[in-house]
């Protein structure tokens, strides 16, 4: 279905969001906010959010410096383990969560901050519940889920109220400030989508998606490097040759590190974190390959089918960075790579996610060799849960200083 969503003839018709409320109302039953909105609401909120993320540094050096700082903090947290086996999920989620936090809330949290740790647990639990087979058939643990959503919403609401009291319209600090300024500008417009509820839900969506998707990809990546130490060794060699040991990796290094760039792409392809993507919806009757898709039909862009297509990826069930390398060892794009979805609803934070993946991944590998406490051949890559999303299995890692 990715061809359908990106086609110039059908892309607009499929830019709606699907009605799979048993999953998406885990975030809010009424479905506002930037990710789950439809129609004019979605257009306004997406255009605003993309522009705001850019103004706050997406794709710029200022944001690169924030990511680099969180990568350094992650390296120091890992160093404290002294090579002993540890679960990397919490420190990785904390580093990634702090990046999106700096954008939407304007500040970062200490690694021991109990409020932030609770939020990370809530996000991980929601992520797991969204993938639950019981959710897929319309059955879910509503009480527990509701308590998780309430914690997340209450936190965001408190941050919005705090920003309202200290707002300087001439100097916005974060996404919340920028939204509040837009609300004031459009307060006389009864059709405006810039109001408190959309602000709260948009922040929830950005914080949720911006934390868990990148974290899950990195966690799968580190597991794959333990499974395939020969790949890890080549990444080490490239980092040493391009970056060295005396400075931190920078976004500008990526163009000179084709193998590492290919490995990150292959991690995304192989882990297939969002196999179905966000469900799309047909906005008007649409013809596709001789069939009529009626208005309102849910359409799933099966990203996993494209990412495992043998016509585009050699031996797709095997982890192979060569899928993104040409005969000369240079990085090779592949149009079947749709890890960030496709069509009008492609991930609005793609630029941020790409920079995070590269800088955090290379920073960790610059300083450590990752080894498993068990034989690499015995490492199980099966997701902890699979369905709407694929969640990496729990594991322990030994990070040996290089």
- The phi-psi region of residue 138 (left if phi > 0; otherwise alpha if psi is between -120 and 50; otherwise beta) is left
Q: Where are the alpha helices (DSSP H) in 243-395?
A: 258-271, 303-307, 350-367
| CA–CA separation, 213 and 48 (whole Å) | 22
DSSP helix/strand/coil, 247 = coil
Displacement of CA 389 from its chain's centroid (Å): 12
Burial zone of 229 (CB within 10 Å; 0-12 exposed, 13-18 middle, 19+ buried): middle
List residues bridging with 390 in a β-sheet.
386
Q: What is the biggest distance separating any 2 CA atoms in the chain, rounded to whole angstroms?
A: 65
| CA–CA separation, 143 and 140 (whole Å) | 9
398 known member of a binding site = no
List residues bridging with 287 in a β-sheet.
292
| CA–CA separation, 237 and 19 (whole Å) | 48
**In Å, what is the CA distance from 351 to each residue of 57, 58, 132, 282?**
10, 7, 29, 27
Measured between alpha carbons, how far apart are the two ends of the chain, in Å?
45
CA dihedral 301, 304, 310, 312 (to 10 degrees): 60
Contacts of 334 (CB under 8 A, 6+ apart): 265, 312, 313, 323, 324
Annotated binding residues for heme? 347
């Amino acid at each position: 279905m990715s061809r359908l969503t990106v086609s110039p003839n059908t892309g607009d018709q499929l830019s709606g969001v699907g009605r799979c409320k048993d999953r998406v109302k885990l975030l809010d039953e009424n479905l506002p906010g930037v990710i789950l909105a439809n129609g004019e609401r979605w257009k306004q909120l997406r255009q605003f959010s993309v522009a705001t993320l850019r103004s706050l540094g997406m794709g710029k050096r200022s944001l690169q410096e924030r990511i680099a700082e969180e990568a350094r903090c992650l390296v120091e947290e890992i160093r404290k383990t002294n090579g002993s086996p540890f679960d990397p999920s919490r420190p990785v989620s904390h580093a990634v969560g702090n990046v999106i936090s700096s954008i939407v809330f304007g500040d970062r949290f200490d690694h021991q901050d109990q409020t932030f740790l609770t939020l990370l647990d809530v996000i991980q639990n929601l992520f797991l519940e969204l993938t639950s087979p019981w959710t897929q058939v319309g059955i879910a643990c509503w009480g527990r889920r509701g308590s998780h959503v309430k914690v997340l919403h209450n936190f965001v609401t408190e941050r919005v109220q705090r920003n309202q009291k200290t707002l300087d319209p001439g100097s916005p600090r974060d996404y919340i400030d920028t939204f509040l300024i837009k609300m004031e500008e459009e307060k006389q417009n009864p059709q405006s989508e810039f109001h408190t509820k959309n602000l709260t839900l948009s922040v929830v969506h950005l914080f949720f998606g911006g934390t868990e998707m990148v974290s899950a990809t990195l966690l799968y990546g580190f597991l794959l490097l333990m499974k395939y130490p020969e790949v890890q060794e080549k990444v080490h060699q490239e980092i040493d040759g391009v970056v060295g040991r005396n400075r931190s990796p920078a976004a500008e290094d990526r163009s000179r590190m084709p193998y590492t760039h290919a490995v990150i792409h292959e991690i995304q392809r192989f882990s297939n974190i969002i196999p179905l993507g966000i469900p799309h919806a047909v906005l008007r009757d649409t013809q596709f390959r001789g069939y009529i898709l009626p208005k309102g039909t849910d359409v799933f862009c099966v990203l996993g089918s494209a990412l495992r297509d043998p016509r585009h990826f050699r031996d797709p069930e095997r982890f192979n960075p060569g899928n993104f390398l040409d005969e000369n060892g240079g990085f090779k794009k592949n149009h079947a790579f749709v890890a960030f979805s496709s069509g009008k609803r492609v991930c609005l934070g793609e630029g941020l996610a790409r920079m995070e993946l590269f800088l955090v991944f290379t920073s960790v590998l610059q300083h450590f060799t990752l080894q498993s406490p068990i034989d690499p051949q015995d490492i199980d890559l099966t997701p902890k849960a699979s369905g709407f999303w694929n969640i990496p299995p729990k594991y322990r890692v030994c990070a040996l200083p290089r």
